[in-house]
Amino acid sequence: MARDPSASAPPLTPLEEALRPGWEEMIRWREALHREPELSNQEHRTREKVLRALSDLAVPARALPGSCAILGVLAPRAPGPCVGLRADLDALPVREATGASFASQNGAMHACGHDVHTAALLGAARYLKARERELAGPVKLLFQPAEEEGHRGGALPMIEKGALSRPPKVDLVFGLHVDREVPLGHYGFFPGPMMAAPDHVEIRVHGRGGHAAYPQTTVDPIVLAAEIIVGLQTLVSRERDPVDPVVLSLTHVTGGSKDNVLPDQVDIEGTLRTFRPETRVRMARRIRQRAQGIARSARGSAEVTVLKGYPPLVNPPTLTERMEARFRTLFPGRVHRMPGPVMGGEDFSYFLQQRPGMFLRLGTGDGKLGSESLHSSRYLPASRALLSGAAAHVAAVALLPGLADGRPKGDRTDPEGILLAAPTGGGRGRRTAR
């Protein structure tokens, strides 16, 4: 491993030592994926690379029809519970600036570490295949596209196509995500609501355009948009419980064409992040009421749409605490309780609505490029994270069936229809990453 000394990483545990013979292969898989990243629902070459790797490992696998998703199966006839292990495939529209020898040159980038997730799961598959006869139950490999899409994502379409229900039926699910806030080779746990629901806000402000020299003859939608942007911020500061986390960020404003022309309309886009279902619906309702009220007060109008993103990601508390305790035994000194939930979104939440399971954070913080911000053009986890990720998947296969109990609770309904499902192919505005 001379090309990646990872001096800040902890010593290998016995499980990681057992995985070490496959480390170089994991690195090759990761670098091949990283060189040629693909955006959400465009992961065609990525799919072929993963299918080829699984074929080389003699792991039966197939692509789901009409999708870039892949299902692989180990020990399909083993009598115990089936554990589903998930990795996501897609990249982001970020131009890479890491300087790595395997850097992307196509204008996209694995700036969220999905190349690490995929290669680590392949590494776990390699290890488990060699011990397939010892597995107590089946293991289903869920290679998922479109995690960055932000609305339906890739998990929900996979579920709809039978990824969990087709034999062998998945009983438990496990996933992980790289995290620069956790030291390299360590693991971050958080029971309960761990990640927010990321909903997409679209506001179209209608005025009456005209000559900028005679604003009294117009209804200026630019001024109205500015008032709406400022006015909506008080929803967070004055209309929600201070201990109930909410983020409302308005991030994209378009309108106008020339310095002496007032336009007819201005478009505003942004993101609403919440944890509680009732807060999610209430905030969406109040965004609509507030924006429309401000627009009407100045003789304009506003169309407001809040497109439903992923549900909050909620780790079952009892199961997660039990897994955390067992990980502390397997990985001494390398398990951390996260200080709180994060406002990022993750469509693994759809899997957790269907099956018991959990999601953890895989540390990449090394004081180098693994400590850069996720979605940054410089974020590049060290290859040591591949071993830790593969070890976490293997541990989940061994531990989850004995620790899980109960069934997940589904998402609450929105009887007023305040939150709209994102239409297939996207809505009026840009589809932004979660």
Cα 105 to Cα 267: distance, rounded to the nearest angstrom: 33
Cα 412 to Cα 105: distance, rounded to the nearest angstrom: 43
Q: What is the pLDDT at residue 430? A: 45
Which structure tokens are listed for 284? 């969406």
Between CA 39 and CA 22 the distance in angstroms is: 28
Which residues make beta-bridge pairs with 87?
Answer: 143
Whole-angstrom CA distances from 308 to 138, 147, 179, 195 are: 34, 15, 25, 15
Q: Model confidence over 164-188: pLDDT tens digits? A: 999 999 999 999 999 999 999 999 9
pLDDT of residue 405: 73
Rounded distance, CA 144 to CA 157, Å?
A: 10
What is the model's pLDDT at position 146?
Answer: 97
Question: Are the C-beta atoms of 191 and 315 separated by less than 8 Å?
Answer: yes
Q: What's the CATH fold of domain 197-310+412-421? A: Alpha-Beta Plaits (3.30.70)
Predicted pLDDT at 417 = 66
Q: What percent of the chain has pLDDT over 90?
A: 90
Report which DSSP code applies to 216: G
Nearest-angstrom CA–CA distance, 13 and 332: 9
For residues 154 and 90, the answer to whether their CB atoms sit within 8 Å is: yes
Nearest-angstrom CA–CA distance, 192 and 15: 28
Domain with CATH 3.30.70.360 in the chain: 197-310+412-421
CB 140 within 8 Å of CB 69: no
Tokens of 31: 């670098």
Check whether 76 has a pLDDT greater than 50: yes
Q: How confident is the model at residue 382 (pLDDT cuts 50, 70, 90)?
A: very high
The answer to whether residues 69 and 162 touch, using CB atoms and an 8 Å cutoff, is: no
Buried b (16+ CB within 10 A) or exposed e, 307-340: bbbbbbbbbbeebbbbbbebbeebbeebbbebee
Question: Within the chain, which residue ranges are assigned CATH 3.40.630.10?
Answer: 14-195+313-403
State residue 8's pLDDT score. Answer: 73
Q: What is the mean pLDDT of the chain?
A: 93
CATH architecture for residues 14-195+313-403: 3-Layer(aba) Sandwich (3.40)
Helix, strand or coil for residue 288?
helix
Angle at alpha carbon of residue 16, lines to 13 and 19, rounded to 5°: 155
- Tens of pLDDT along 101-117? 999 999 999 999 999 99
pTM, to two decimals:
0.90
Res. 413 pLDDT band, cuts 50 70 90: low
Nearest 5°: the CA angle 389, 92, 270 is 115
Does residue 4 have a pLDDT over 60? no
Assign 103 to helix, strand or coil.
coil
Structure tokens at 70: 């892949």
pLDDT digits (tens, 9 = 90+) for 211-257: 999 999 999 999 999 999 999 999 999 999 999 999 999 999 999 99
Of all residues in the chain, what percent carry a pLDDT higher than 70? 92
Average pLDDT, integer, range 132-147: 97
- Please state, in angstroms and rounded to a whole number, the distance separating the CA atoms of residues 174 and 164: 12
Euclidean distance between CA atoms 122 and 54, whole angstroms: 7
Q: Is 315 helix (H, G, I), strand (E, B) or coil?
A: strand
Q: What are phi and psi of 127, to 5 degrees?
A: -65, -45
Query: CB atoms < 10 A from the CB of 68, how many?
Result: 24
